[in-house]
Amino acid sequence: MPYITEERREFLANATEAEIAAEELSAGDMNYLISTLLDEWIAEKGLGYASINEAIGVLECAKLELYRRVAAPYEDNKKEQNGDVFTCNLNV
């Protein structure tokens, strides 16, 4: 959950994009930034099932794109470097 200190919230709320990019953000910081962005977006659209469902869809698509574009190639590279773990699919 995005429960970071009040001081950290103030910094993130008032910082420029460049200042945020220069920071070493924690997972909590990232969660807070994403959560506040979604909170503002849902409030603007109106709180209801459709806006909540749409926000979850955005997060899911962002997650899948991160996995497809960043995690999967990284894992493929590590498999080539260190060898495969899975052997159950070798005869498929």
Same domain for 53 and 35: no
Q: Is 85 exposed, middle or buried (0-12, 13-18, 19+ CB in 10 A)?
A: exposed
Q: Are both 77 and 55 inside the same structural domain? A: yes
What tens digit of pLDDT does each residue of 80-89 get?
A: 999 999 989 8
Tell me: do 37 and 53 sit in the same domain.
no
Q: What's the pLDDT at 44?
A: 98
pLDDT value of residue 2: 67
Q: 5 and 23, same structural domain?
A: yes
Name the pTM for this structure: 0.80
- Domains in the chain, number: 2
Together in a domain, 42 and 1? yes
pLDDT confidence tier of residue 1, bands split at 50, 70 and 90: low
* Whether residue 25 sits in one domain with residue 62: no
Burial of 65 by CB count in 10 Å (0-12 exposed, 13-18 middle, 19+ buried)? exposed
Q: Do 29 and 2 share a domain, yes or no?
A: yes
Domain that holds residue 76: 48-92
pLDDT tens track for 38-71: 999 999 999 999 999 999 999 999 999 999 999 9
Rounded CA separation 45/68 (Å): 29
Do residues 64 and 39 both lie within one domain?
no
- State which amino acid sits at residue 8: R
